[in-house]
Each structure stands twice: as structure tokens, then as C-alpha cells.
Amino acid sequence: MGMGTRLFNKIAVVTGGGGGIGAEICSSFAKEGASVAVADIDIDAAQKVAAEINSSGSRAIALSFDVADIGATEKAADRTENELGPIDIWVNNAGVSYIVPFLDCTEELWDNTLRVNLTGTFIGCREAIGRMRQRKQGVILNMSSQSGKKGSSHYAAYCASKFGIIGLTQSLAVEFASSGIRVNALCPGVVMTTLWKDMKEDYASKRGIKTEEVIPYLEKRIPMGRLCTPGDIAGVAVFLASDESAYITGEAVNISGGQMML
Ligand SMILES: NC(=O)c1ccc[n+]([C@@H]2O[C@H](COP(=O)([O-])OP(=O)(O)OC[C@H]3O[C@@H](n4cnc5c(N)ncnc54)[C@H](O)[C@@H]3O)[C@@H](O)[C@H]2O)c1
């Protein structure tokens, strides 16, 4: 794979960077010349991604913190700026997802979903924007979903968190446009990462189909006829993180093979 320069000398933090979509965003940013702080609650996963980037000739560090922990997030941001330099790009990607009938959705499951997905994104945005504002430049990317634009049964907590991320994104885009900070959201369709593999059985039971029928069932509803890949998302993330998208802010970009168009 060749090296590009679209993010040359940029410093990026990617939460959930040890996992499926986040790991792909980390390596795509690195291939375009960024130095990357790979952040994940799973330190082994973060270290593995950072080591791959370092051995490919780009620079990365691994950070371990819970995105819903303000103090730990601040410390990790300090470490990033000490070791790599001032943060230019912050990707709030860490997230959790559960399919459960609404009346079985406990307060604990609701709270955990909102805490990681929405409060974690709020904390990341505050940490990043506080630093970026002083330099009058910066890019925030928040991971929403097609479930941030359309509700589904058995998915209330997740959809509420992902709708919330779009509201947060739009509000910050307006508030900080004059500070040179762009804030956009990504809305992917289904990617078969660990997150989705763990939900396949619950999805099958919600639709009344067999587990092995889940992927063909999903594919049939996508105009392009295939699921989303981490690479599909990383390509859009690179574009939105780079100056190529200098006039785009407050968007929630569909990456859904034509399934979502609003
Ligand atoms: N997979 C999909 O179909 C899909 C579709 C749309 C949006 N998304 C969103 O994309 C993001 C990434 O999803 P994925 O499919 O790559 O999931 P994944 O489970 O493969 O990876 C998520 C990563 O986040 C980390 N993480 C979880 N909770 C954390 C916390 N509290 N603090 C720090 N790190 C934490 C995990 O350790 C993991 O490495 C999520 O926000 C998800 O909601 C996924």
C-alpha cells in the first residue's frame, strides 16, 4: 500500500481505535501521513494497532482509557500532545450496541449505551475543542450510524444515542465554525465487526430468521447489495479529516450503499 500526504504532519486521536472500524481509520490516517494516538479501553488491542502502524513507518502511540471518564480522557489528551504534538483531528468512534426488546431494556443497559456512545462523544468533543480553539483549527468526527437517522425495533437505546450524536455534532458545528473547527458525523450501514457478530443471534430472533440468514437478509435491503466495510468508512473519514472538505461542517454523512438517503 502506498503512502499519501493528505493528512501530512497532522496529529489524530481515534477512540475505539483497537477495534474494527476504528483500527481501519487509524491505519488509513497513518498512511496519509498523520501521527495517530490509538485509544481503546482494551489496551492490548490499542497496542497491536499502534505497533502495526509504527512498523509500517508512520508514528503511533497506544492509549488506554474509558471514553466516559473525563479525567482519564484529559490525561490521555495531555499525553498525546506531549508525545506527538498539538491535536488536529479527534475521532469519537468508541461505541457499544445491544439489540433487546424495549420492555427488556433495563435502566443499566440504557445508561451504559448512552454513557459510552453519547456522553463519551460529548467528553471527547469538549476535550478536543478546548485545545483546538486556541489554535483556531481542528476537525472532529463523531461516529453515528444509519440508526442515528431512522429508528428500529429492539434498538431504542442505541438509536437514541446515535440520534443524539447528530444533534451534538450540528450544535458544535455551528458554535465553533468561527473558531476554525469543523465537526461532522459518519452514518455507516452494517459492518460485520465484533460489535455486529455479537448481535447476530439477537437480530435473527428479532426478525424471526435463522442466524445464517442474517447477512443475506441485510444485503437484500441494500441497493448496492453488499454490507459496508471498514475501508468504506475510513475513506470518508480521511476526506472529512483533510482540507479537501474545508467547507463541510455539521453534516451526518451516509455510508450505506444507498440504503439511507436523508
Ligand atoms: N459495525 C457496524 O455495523 C456499525 C455501523 C454503524 C456505526 N457503528 C459504530 O462504529 C463504532 C465502532 O464500531 P465497531 O463496529 O468497529 O465496533 P467494535 O466493537 O469492533 O469496536 C469498538 C471498539 O471500541 C472500544 N470501546 C468500547 N467501549 C469503550 C469505552 N468505553 N472506552 C474506550 N473504548 C471503548 C472496544 O474495545 C472496541 O475496540 C461504534 O460507535 C459503532 O456504534 C458500527
Taking the C-alpha atoms of residue 250 and residue 262, their distance in angstroms, rounded to an integer, is 14
Residue located nearest, by CA, to atom 17 of ligand 1:
195
- Return the domain boundaries, the chain: 11-191+228-254
Q: Is the dihedral of CA 109, 110, 116, 117 positive or negative?
A: positive
3-state secondary structure at position 127:
helix
* Measured torsion, CA atoms of residues 195, 156, 228, 205, in degrees rounded to the nearest 10: 70
**Atom of ligand 1 lying closest to residue 18 CA:** 39
Environment class of residue 190 by beta-carbon count within 10 Å: exposed (0-12), middle (13-18) or buried (19+)?
A: buried
Which residues are within 8 A (CB) of 114 and not within 5 positions of it... i.e. 6 or more apart? Answer: 157, 160, 161, 164
pLDDT tens digits, residue range 119-176?
999 999 999 999 999 999 999 999 999 999 999 999 999 999 999 999 999 999 999 9
Q: How confident is the model at residue 239 (pLDDT cuts 50, 70, 90)?
A: very high
Q: Is the CB of 16 under 6 A from ligand 1?
A: yes
Taking the C-alpha atoms of residue 115 and residue 122, their distance in angstroms, rounded to an integer, is 10
Taking the C-alpha atoms of residue 186 and residue 91, their distance in angstroms, rounded to an integer, is 10
Q: What are phi and psi of 28, to 5 degrees?
A: -70, -40
Q: Any idea which fold 11-191+228-254 has?
A: Rossmann fold (3.40.50)
Global pTM exceeds 0.85: yes
Q: How confident is the model at residue 41 (pLDDT cuts 50, 70, 90)?
A: very high
Q: Is the CB of 142 under 6 A from ligand 1?
A: no
Beta bridge partners of residue 35, listed in sequence order? 11
pLDDT tens digits, residue range 200-228?
999 999 999 999 999 999 999 999 999 99
Are 107 and 124 a contacting pair, CB within 8 Å? Answer: no
Q: Is the CB of 254 under 6 A from ligand 1?
A: no
